Structure 1
Amino acid sequence: MVTYALEAEGISKFFPGVKALSHVSLCIKPGTVHALMGENGAGKSTLMKCLIGIYRPDEGQIRIKGQRVQFTDTLDALRAGISMIHQELNLVPQMTVAENIWLGREPTKFGFVDHTRLNRLTEELLVKLNIALRADQTVGSLSIAAQQMVEIAKAVSWNADIVIMDEPTSALTEAEVAHLFTIIRNLREQGKAIIYISHKMDEVFAITDEVSVFRDGRWVGSDVTANYTRQSLITQMVGRELTQLFPKVHSTIGEDVLTVRNLTRGGVFEDISFSVRRGEILGVAGLVGAGRSEVMECLFGLTQRDSGQVLIDGVPTTLDSPASAIDKGLAFLTEDRKKSGLFLVLSVMENMSIVKMTHYSAKGGFVNQRHMAKDCLEQIQRLNIKTPTMDQIINNLSGGNQQKVLIARWLLAQPKILILDEPTRGIDVGAKAEIYRLIGELASRGVAIIMVSSELPEIIGMSDRVMVMHGGRITGILNKEDADQETILSLASE
């Protein structure tokens, strides 16, 4: 008889207006990697938060190695042997790598933190995991990918028997993903149980032993990974077949809308020149650190250029702030939705309508709530955003639905140039297809689209042309028929 590392039985969780989990069960064997799959809003993260002590289940029970447990907080779960790498980074930017990893568990000497021992423990852990960081580096100075590696080291440092990994590769390069897989295999060989949540099918088939699928807060099925095909897994997740993941809508490509000439920001990017035409999707590819996001931030006025020229409809334009960029018809979906996109304490409607608030302002300074609610409801229906009401605090939505709200925000602004930085990061396969359809639809209406993505199938499947960057420079611009993975990777590695 199998003694499971973890069992969740009949778990239900209710929130005002929504039943997030309905009598779900999950069994995890020691020494295995168990994938948890499902669309955004399927209940995966809610169940994990029940397992780690963030939420208390309203029904059901949790057992670890056959013993029933009840957690009052995350520290209870950590002491019981469950650690978690969260989808959203959970680090203190002002603290060092060492201080973040051992926060609340720092070694002391004479009642004070023993920094010498703290750094030594950290260096030993980093060497063990082959992570090329220093213990004394400030986390806020690190790239998102490096911060993700700190999160991984932090989870492993607890020596937990059960490690939950929620989208652990969302900010990692292919080499860093391979490195993480080596860490996972070592943990599996030690008898650890890994719960692996990812929307990336290739990763699931490469690293996991078993899969459980959730849909709409319910358990749908479980099996060994080898018994699934990509299509059968997608069908079980979404309840339907996705016959065309990249539904590229034909659009008539017109004249240049945005022209960039010799754009330079010292030490970040240099001599960037390209154009985007009406109705065109320009994909921007490159490895982490290539300077893609930095160029887009400069175009949107978030940072200032040292030299160069930007023209909109052939007219030289000064974009020195996001307000001026929006005024000129630009919209920008940022890479990090929580850090630079969302107002986490505001409602879905407030987050969606904020760039058009002056449009909804009536005489006397009041807001036309009826007009605003009508527009927001149309976007919720159009993008299939799962939220009980428009007044729901956006922080309570799943990551994928938060992303859809941000897209809806910019659709309300009716831009002529739409910049999308990693638009499907952390998004499930069903929602990805919806977003791809929407991007294609916008292009067919004449919107000029710049799409930055680290996913090559996405870049190749959706782009009319592909601009490749490396080291802050453009290394090539490819027509659609010339853009294959080998060519793009070669240019991205120059």
Structure 2
Amino acid sequence: MILRMRGIAKSFLGVRVLHGVDLDVAPGEVHAVVGENGAGKSTLMKIIAGVHAPDEGTMEIDGVPVSFGHPVQAQRAGVAIIYQEFNLLPERSVAENVFLGREPVRRGLVDRSAMEAATARLLAELGETSFGPRAPVRRLSVAQQQVVEIVKALSQDARIIVMDEPTAALAGHEVELLYALVARLRERGIAVLYISHRLREVFDLADRVTVLKDGALVRTAGTGDVDPGELVRLMVGRDLGTYFPPRGTGPGQVRLSVRGGGNAVLDGIDLDLRAGEILGVAGLQGSGRTELAKALFGAEPFTRGTMSPLRPASVRQAVAAGIGLVTEDRKAEGLALRQSVRDNALLVARSVRRRGRDAPGRDGAPGRAGGSGRDGVTGLLEAVRLQPPEPGREVRFLSGGNQQKVVLAKWMTVAPETLIFDEPTRGVDVGAKAAIHDLMRGLANDGMAIMMISSELPELIGMSDRVVVMRDGRLAGELPPGPSEEAVMRLAAGEATP
């Protein structure tokens, strides 16, 4: 084994987060580590990467005991980690980010030519042609920034690579490139520790899988020895029965209608969204999915065409018209991370005064802007199943799933008639994902009109009452409930018509 860990334990402020965990990985093996948020996966990976030191236990690389006091020591030992949350400097170029702190030097100066040439070779290996080594990171999409993180890890010549949700922001064709990359790493004898909430990736890529729950090792098994249902039961301690709640009884009246909508990115958008339905929006990266959401929400408004009941020219107008948006990047755009759960839940209500409409939220949660006091916020947090429902806790200390629930609570304070979800379960575990799915379906059943953008085709197909597919800023077609993944991808890639 290239990596061997035994009896790893770790506590923070007296709270035990890892309980004697054993883990090993062989050269050329892809070993998945799964579990709900809070299971201890990230802490274990940070111990491997030298961010934390274990309180108990031992770690060996190539049979030699190691103890890392700093991430640089782990890197020198051949360990690289790709975090789910990006660690990039937006004002610097791709090459500068890839070689940050390890810049090649020639005659006492940074050798930019060598640095850019090496970065270009790594980008070519990934099949990435949409940007080059000189591109400023701030101009890259979320998916492109993820590629930069992968290139950075490759540039370190690591023998052990930890990938934390590496496909969370990638479109379908980029996921295929990552699959190919993982296969090449395996061929070279590199050990890959792969953290993912997407069970398909676990079974597609991993040789073995380790399940953690509440900081303890549940089981390590070959992926051929367990099935997805059993893996879910091991992770959450119960049988979820089904991944998706049953569809609603049928749509109601049209809540939002667009005809000929367009702007600098979008063109010819004809779309109806009805009360009581979940409308799924599919498409490859760059197809215009997020731009459509922002246009409907007034963040990047339509400049032509009609939209009823109102074509919002600003976010304030959209919220006043009863439209909300759960953004793709909750940390950058949806939350004030250093503020409390309560303050985040009231962000919309405090910043935009609704026009006196008193609409109750789901489960009786208060719906009037500014009308949710201390008791009201507690009720909202219970309604979205925040665990634990602690209004005074800073949001930055919550798991990804709980942060997403706070974003949802933020919108429930103003009870929008239409709510748009852009990648609603990105980076959350299977238990939180199921809870969010149930909440979305419950809101639709209560009469809300919901639009859901998702790169996960099983989620999109399982949750949607209808699916529309975007391509090149236009609607490529509409599919009925439960379409095949092939039908969605053929429309998205321009290989078929509906």
Matched with 1:458 is 459
Instruction: Quote the offset at 1:68 in angstroms.
Output: 2.9
Q: Specify the code of the residue in structure 2 equivalent to 1:328.
A: A
Instruction: Quote the offset at 1:168 in angstroms.
Output: 0.5
Q: Specify the code of the residue in structure 2 equivalent to 1:281.
A: I
1:4-403 aligned at under 5 Å gives the runs 4-16=1-13, 18-132=15-129, 133-266=131-264, 268-312=265-309, 317-357=310-350, 372-387=373-388, 389-403=390-404
Q: Which SS does the other structure have where 1:340 is aligned? A: helix
Instruction: Quote the offset at 1:358 in angstroms.
Output: 6.5
CA distance in 2 between counterparts of 1:324 and 1:127 reads 45
Deviates more, 1:388-397 or 1:440-449: 388-397
Q: Specify the code of the residue in structure 1 equivalent to 2:490.
A: S
CA contact (8 A) 1:166 1:198 kept: yes
Q: Specify the code of the residue in structure 2 equivalent to 1:489.
A: M
Q: Specify the code of the residue in structure 2 equivalent to 1:405.
A: V
CA contact (8 A) 2:160 2:191 kept: yes
Instruction: Quote the offset at 1:408 in angstroms.
Output: 2.2
Q: Specify the code of the residue in structure 2 equivalent to 1:86.
A: Y
1:430-445 aligned at under 5 Å gives the runs 430-445=431-446
CA distance in 1 between counterparts of 2:371 and 2:268 reads 47
Q: Specify the code of the residue in structure 2 equivalent to 1:480.
A: P
CA distance in 1 between counterparts of 2:285 and 2:112 reads 32
- Deviation track 1:209-235 (CA, whole Å, cap 9, x = no partner) reads 110001122211111111011111111
Matched with 2:363 is none
Matched with 2:417 is 416
Q: Specify the code of the residue in structure 2 equivalent to 1:381.
A: E
Q: Which SS does the other structure have where 1:12 is aligned? A: strand
CA contact (8 A) 2:248 2:277 kept: no
Matched with 2:490 is 490
Counterparts in 2 of 1:432 and 1:272: CA distance versus 1, 3 Å: same
CA contact (8 A) 1:249 1:441 kept: no
Q: Specify the code of the residue in structure 1 equivalent to 2:185.
A: L
CA distance in 1 between counterparts of 2:380 and 2:52 reads 30
CA distance in 2 between counterparts of 1:308 and 1:77 reads 56
Deviates more, 1:388-397 or 1:346-355: 388-397
CA contact (8 A) 1:54 1:74 kept: yes
Deviates more, 1:15-24 or 1:412-421: 15-24
Q: Which SS does the other structure have where 1:486 is aligned? A: helix
Deviates more, 1:197-206 or 1:117-126: 117-126
CA distance in 2 between counterparts of 1:383 and 1:27 reads 38
Q: Which SS does the other structure have where 1:344 is aligned? A: coil
Counterparts in 2 of 1:153 and 1:69: CA distance versus 1, 3 Å: same
Instruction: Quote the offset at 1:260 in angstroms.
Output: 1.3
Matched with 1:364 is none
CA contact (8 A) 1:41 1:386 kept: no
Q: Which SS does the other structure have where 2:393 is aligned? A: coil
CA distance in 1 between counterparts of 2:122 and 2:5 reads 31
Instruction: Quote the offset at 1:375 in angstroms.
Output: 3.1
CA distance in 2 between counterparts of 1:456 and 1:370 reads 38
Q: Unpaired segments of 5 or more residues in structure 2?
A: 354-369
Instruction: Quote the offset at 1:16 in angstroms.
Output: 4.5
CA contact (8 A) 2:283 2:469 kept: yes
TM-score (norm 2): 0.90
Counterparts in 2 of 1:240 and 1:285: CA distance versus 1, 3 Å: same
Identity of paired residues, percent? 44
Counterparts in 2 of 1:387 and 1:106: CA distance versus 1, 3 Å: farther
Counterparts in 2 of 1:302 and 1:214: CA distance versus 1, 3 Å: same
Instruction: Quote the offset at 1:17 in angstroms.
Output: 7.7
CA distance in 1 between counterparts of 2:32 and 2:248 reads 37
CA contact (8 A) 1:40 1:401 kept: no
Instruction: Quote the offset at 1:58 in angstroms.
Output: 3.4
CA distance in 1 between counterparts of 2:239 and 2:190 reads 35
Q: Which SS does the other structure have where 1:199 is aligned? A: coil
CA distance in 1 between counterparts of 2:28 and 2:487 reads 39
Counterparts in 2 of 1:458 and 1:145: CA distance versus 1, 3 Å: same
Q: Specify the code of the residue in structure 2 equivalent to 1:413.
A: V
CA distance in 2 between counterparts of 1:339 and 1:36 reads 27
Instruction: Quote the offset at 1:343 in angstroms.
Output: 1.5
- Deviation track 1:33-71 (CA, whole Å, cap 9, x = no partner) reads 100011122111122122212233333333322333332
Alignment root-mean-square deviation, CA: 2.3
Q: Specify the code of the residue in structure 2 equivalent to 1:484.
A: S
Counterparts in 2 of 1:392 and 1:62: CA distance versus 1, 3 Å: farther
Instruction: Quote the offset at 1:469 in angstroms.
Output: 0.9
CA distance in 2 between counterparts of 1:422 and 1:370 reads 29
CA distance in 2 between counterparts of 1:329 and 1:19 reads 44
- Deviation track 1:357-396 (CA, whole Å, cap 9, x = no partner) reads 3799xxxxxxxx9964433333443434345843332222
CA distance in 2 between counterparts of 1:134 and 1:24 reads 41
Q: Unpaired segments of 5 or more residues in structure 1?
A: 361-368
Instruction: Quote the offset at 1:301 in angstroms.
Output: 1.7
Counterparts in 2 of 1:196 and 1:258: CA distance versus 1, 3 Å: same
Instruction: Quote the offset at 1:107 in angstroms.
Output: 1.1
